[in-house]
Amino acid sequence: MALAKESPPASSKNAADAEAAYRAHTRLWLRLLACTSLIEGELRRRFREEYDFTMPRFDVLAQLDREPSGLVLGELPKRLMVSAGNLTPIVDRLVEDGYITRTPSNLDRRVQIICMTVEGRKTFRRMAKSHGAWLAELLAEFPANRLDGLVGALDDVKGAVRNALQHREQT
């Protein structure tokens, strides 16, 4: 199969087919984006109103919650799929606010270990419970027996995109 890279093959009767495929993929993308921004906007709003908190801060705490012994700072950008530079001020503020600690490793002075404080864990658990309830409320109308199927399809999308990216990276 030829790899379409920039434009649909203009040479043949398949141009129309290619356009149609583009549209189908674009439609999927637009739906993904619409669902995500709808939900994200509402979650953001509630985090702010109810806890005066932001989602990126919550995401950092969520990663730390399952790591009793803390986490190397460098793990965060990978897990949260954000850039490292972005995290610096977010982690700074979480430290200032007493939710996490940042300790330089004494094996390698470049490395920092971050760890949730007792207070941070308590706050996080409270917010996580709301977070789950908010999602359940927002998605309540979507039939529960279709959840797993949808999650599976999204896993496949994720896998497909990851593979496509990896492929390209080797170029």
Partner DNA sequence: AGGAAATAGTTTAGGCATAAAATAACTGGA
Partner DNA sequence: TCCAGTTATTTTATGCCTAAACTATTTCCT
DSSP alpha helix (H) spans, 2-117: 14-46, 55-65, 75-80, 84-96
Taking CB under 8 A as the criterion, the residue among 35, 72, 84, 111 binding a copy of itself is: 35
Q: Which residues contact 90 (CB under 8 A, 6 or more apart)?
A: 56, 57, 60
Residue 164 phi, psi (nearest 5)? -60, -40
Nearer to DNA, 85 or 143 (CB): 85
- Kindly indicate which of the ranges 64-72, 89-97, 104-112, 155-163 contains the residues binding a copy of itself, using the contact rule CB under 8 A: 155-163
29 binding a copy of itself? (CB under 8 A)? yes
Cβ–Cβ under 8 Å, residues 46 and 35: no
26 binding a copy of itself? (CB under 8 A)? yes
Taking CB under 8 A as the criterion, the residue among 36, 86, 103, 105 binding a copy of itself is: 36
Cβ–Cβ under 8 Å, residues 105 and 112: yes
Nearer to DNA, 102 or 121 (CB): 102
Cβ–Cβ under 8 Å, residues 70 and 115: yes
Question: What is the CA 124 to chain-centroid distance, rounded?
Answer: 17
15 binding a copy of itself? (CB under 8 A)? no
| Binding residues vs DNA (CB under 7 A) | 41, 44-45, 48, 54-57, 72-74, 81-91, 93, 108-112
Q: Please compute, for residue 165, the number of CA atoms within 13 A of its CA located in the half-sphere on the CB side.
A: 6
Cβ–Cβ under 8 Å, residues 109 and 46: no
158 binding a copy of itself? (CB under 8 A)? yes
Taking CB under 8 A as the criterion, the residue among 8, 56, 70, 77 binding a copy of itself is: 8
Nearer to a copy of itself, 72 or 150 (CB): 150
Footprint on this chain of a copy of itself (rule: CB under 8 A): 3-8, 18-19, 21-29, 31-42, 81, 129-133, 135-144, 146-151, 153-165
